Structure 1
């Protein structure tokens, strides 16, 4: 079996784990930036003093959609785009589940498996990756999702 993760042999990776990303810190500054960008300033995310006394978590927590957004970037950094591909275009996310909060100051990382690959003709394939965001020190993931992307094969002139 050719073990190189390449556009031409993606079917060999279906059901296999691609690996894990590096750890990323979800600190209050990152949470505040996300709140600013999305205009979601709910106190449970941006008010550490109030969270200390009123939140069941004792501190602020990251937005669920911040965690989902981090998943995409972590996956790209770890190399989910196979060789032989000129571009990868996000086609959606299915079956997203947020299972636990991410407290400010926590470390998270992505773990990814190839779920399926479907040829779409003309040098295009649809790749579905099962991904989870792991929280350092915890056995269960904080979120799981099926991430779908279109892959475009490199042409001879690229």
Structure 2
């Protein structure tokens, strides 16, 4: 149980500070199309470049908001340190998700995380809340902001 106590103390000590920033991830039309196929969301602003350019105010197709949100897992792999004794991490949910700026096709995005809270749920589980901002390369306004809850499970 010492490992979970050490992890809890370490996270508590880091509250309010940046956990890290992920690598950039390209969102191209192939990714957008694949996401639309899997989720059955084939709205033209995502999957029809010609029509989107002609009819939508974005100058072309944009990524699905849920595609951008789902990249949180990718960003976490780049960013969150594995804690000693941790056997896995699980998505526990999101609070206050806001989609602020559409992500144009062929843009690059990355995740930035700040430690907000930690709660010990059991002798083997820590629930961490992180403020997540998804940034669009070359744009000052983020694609989205959310509070992400993740469960760290220890042996």
**TM-score under structure 1 normalisation?**
0.89
Indicate the SS of the match to 2:134: strand
Using the TM superposition, give the Cα deviation of residue 79 of structure 1 relative to its aligned residue in structure 2, in angstroms.
Answer: 2.5
Q: For residues 46-83 of structure 1, what are the alpha-carbon distances to aligned partners after superposition, in whole Å with 9 as ceiling and x for unaligned?
A: 00001111110110000000000012221222225434
Specify whether residues 83 and 135 from structure 1 end up closer, same or farther in structure 2 by C-alpha distance, changes over 3 A only: farther
Counterparts of 2:19 and 2:84, CA distance in 1: 13
Specify whether residues 139 and 83 from structure 1 end up closer, same or farther in structure 2 by C-alpha distance, changes over 3 A only: farther
Matched pairs, number: 149
- RMSD over equivalenced CA pairs, Å: 1.3
Indicate the SS of the match to 1:88: strand
Any runs of at least 4 consecutive aligned residues in structure 1 with deviations exceeding 6 A, and if so which? none
**Structure 1 stretches of 5 or more lacking a match?**
1-5
- Greater Cα shift, 25-34 or 10-19: 10-19
Does the 8 Å CA contact 2:20/2:80 hold for their aligned counterparts? no
Indicate the SS of the match to 1:137: coil
**Structure 2 stretches of 5 or more lacking a match?**
1-5
Q: Which residue of 2 aligns with 1:3?
A: none
